[in-house]
Chains A and B, each alone.
Chain A
Amino acid sequence: MNPTPSMASPSPEPPSTRRLVVRLLLVVAAAFAFGWAMVPFYDVLCRVTGLNGKTPGFQAGGLAGAEAASRIDPTRTVTVEFTGTVMPGLPWDMRPLTASVDLHPGELQQVKYLVRNTSDHTIVGQAIPSVSPGQAAQYFHKLDCFCFRQQTLAPGESREMPLTFIVKPEIDRDIRQITLSYAFFNIEEPRREAR
């Protein structure tokens, strides 16, 4: 190999290169922003399409009872089942007082969950709903739900927690059974401890 000279410091880039680099960096920044923008976008997408079994949240001035009544579809019945999971870290018991109801789409329904704090201290919990099959979620309209707000239970306290809902008549004819599940979390999530 010939002893060829080296350049100690490369010459500065020409303007065309600098312009290109700036543009590419903008692409990088845009891609990074896109990743973060996916978070709210995905949430909206889920709520609109039921992509992940997420139900629409509280909607002020939702369907009025009368309006809903006129839209009942008596030609078919949908079974709605209720279940729940108490997540670790929340010493509560929960069970639906009604395991399932058969209803016509458009009918207003109310069911209750019985929740009991089995510990000796006051705990605040939050229920997160999930509906299966996911496609049904967007038609599962909750008028009032204990999951809209945090729930505080005193030691040993039991409470019946109500849920008022309508399964919208637009729901896919192929869906015969819907399950609504609540995952109840302790909102004072304990700090992770080193393992």
Chain B
Amino acid sequence: MVDCAEDIPKPAAVWRRALPIALLAASAGAFADFTWNFPEPVTPVAHETLKIHNEFMIIITVLFTVVFAIMIYSMVKHRRSSGHQAARFSGPRGALQWFWVLVPFAILLFIDFILMGIPAVHALMEMEDTQSRADMVLKVTGMQWKWQYEYPDSEIKFVSNLTTPADQIANADPKGENYLLEVDNPVVLPVGKKVRVLLTSTDVIHTWWVPQFGVKRDAIPGFLRETWLKIDQPGTYRGQCAELCGKGHGFMPVVVEAVPEADYLAWVEKRKSMQQAAASAGDRTWSKDELMAKGKEVYDKICATCHQPDGKGLPGAFPAIAGSKVVNQALFGADGKPARDSHVDRVMNGKPGTAMQAFKTTLNDVELAGVITFQRNSFGNQQGDMIQPAQIKALR
């Protein structure tokens, strides 16, 4: 498994070690822990990007060194304390001086538009390539604060949530190896296939970024964007949302598992049957204990972020579940349907204009039935009733 944290800079980046960085001296012993250049690239675009990045870093370091060497030479030599008398010139005089003045700019023009410009355009064309056909499509939808993935070819659709426990974030538990970079449902992609990635969002602008892919593209609500990737080695690749999207911005990682094609096809089959199983699981009758267990699992993963693990909410921002008026009312109205703004309606359809989303789009029947049952019978709420997955299904 490849992990971003463990990457060693590519040989081309080794020159950077020569940079005299005083701040590193203090912790030279722990040097191996510092990742300080792009992580190991695994797509053609990322290889290209790392290559031009390293070249450009060399160019600007040379420019910096040359320019400021001249300046520092002057600062040492032309000091009043060493008795240097000031010259009086204020501009170039004569052809030779003009030549010396113009040469640096000719060099800079060359650097800008040839030395950097040509590789930059080359890399850009690679990044924006639409000429070669893609082997498959992955649709990524950004939502506050999770990613939804769709595989239109195989009708797979799932949501990927952060799984780092709240206790780790609150420093109550020791942090795991992939702290903040772990999800429940990673994206699985085949190695060596060109994947066309479509991006959109349902609320605000998010940005899908996996550093090892060299891919970063905005997901814009109401608009479609695309990019592509072709992963050349199996592994787990981790990234994050890169555009400020609200309070959960730091907590919506991207995890991609690249596997050989055979494994990918097996995963597709497994995922499909899981989706069917989840659909049919809703058909049987669940016991209250089963629902409560399922509900607690869902609550801790999804609801606790805002409503808090103790169900007390955050005054002024997120309402409490404990003693909530919405929760503590009848499941169904007189017509046998949930009333508007009742508990079931709120969980399934959300509250527009607030952070409370319509969870029927991201949770399945069992999860919804579980979490509703759990909320009604926890945190001091004692409704004693439950709702079956089949009832949820009928309401969809």
Contacts and interface: CB of A to CB of B under 8 A. Distances in A.
A132 B139 contact: no
A52 B223 contact: yes
A53 interface: yes
Interface stretch (A4-12, A29-37, A186-194): A186-194
B198 A190 contact: no
Among A86, A88, A132, A177, max chain B CB count under 10 A is at A88
Prevailing SS type, chain A contact patch: loop
B141 interface: yes
A179 B131 contact: no
Given A83-B139, A85-B202, A179 B133 contact: no
A176 B130 contact: yes
Interface stretch (B27-35, B92-100, B297-305, B345-353): B345-353
Contacts of A174: 130-131
Nearest to A93: B396
A131 B226 CA distance: 10
A100 to B, nearest CB: 8
B120 interface: no
Nearest to A116: B396
Interface string B213-250: 00000000111111000000000000000000000000
A128 B200 CA distance: 13
B133 A88 contact: no
Interface residues of B, number: 36
Interface string B130-166: 1111100101010000000010110000000000000
A137 B225 CA distance: 12
Nearest to B153: A99
A132 B224 contact: yes
Contacts of B134: 177
A100 B336 CA distance: 41
B196 interface: yes
A151 interface: no
Contact of B225 (A81, A120, A132, A183): A132
B285 interface: no
A130 interface: yes
Contacts of A131: 224
Given A118-B396, A174-B130, A183-B200, A91 B349 contact: yes
Prevailing SS type, chain B contact patch: loop
Nearest to B223: A130
Nearest to B396: A118
- Which bracket fits the contact residues of A? 35 or more
Contacts of B141: 85
Contact of B203 (A88, A189, A192): A88
Contact of B130 (A53, A133, A185): A133
B354 A193 contact: yes
A119 B226 CA distance: 32
B328 interface: no
B355 interface: yes
A87 interface: yes
A49 interface: no
A87 B221 contact: yes
Contacts of A189: 352
B222 to A, nearest CB: 4
Given A85-B200, A120-B337, A177-B133, A53 B349 contact: no
B130 A88 contact: no
Contacts of B132: 176
Nearest to B131: A174
Contacts of B137: 81, 179
Q: Please provide the 8 A-B residue pairs with the shortest distance between their CB atoms, ordered closest to farther.
A: A190-B352, A181-B224, A132-B224, A130-B224, A183-B222, A192-B353, A132-B226, A89-B352
28 contacts: A52-B223, A53-B224, A81-B152, A83-B152, A83-B224, A85-B141, A85-B200, A86-B361, A88-B350, A88-B357, A91-B360, A99-B153, A118-B396, A120-B337, A128-B222, A131-B224, A132-B225, A132-B226, A174-B131, A175-B130, A176-B130, A176-B131, A179-B226, A181-B224, A183-B221, A189-B352, A193-B354, A195-B354
Interface of B: 130-134, 137, 139, 141, 150, 152-153, 196, 198, 200, 202-203, 221-226, 317, 337, 349-355, 357-358, 360-361, 396
Given A53-B224, A91-B349, 16 more contacts: A52-B223, A83-B150, A85-B202, A87-B202, A88-B357, A89-B352, A130-B224, A174-B130, A174-B131, A175-B130, A181-B200, A181-B224, A183-B222, A185-B222, A193-B354, A195-B354
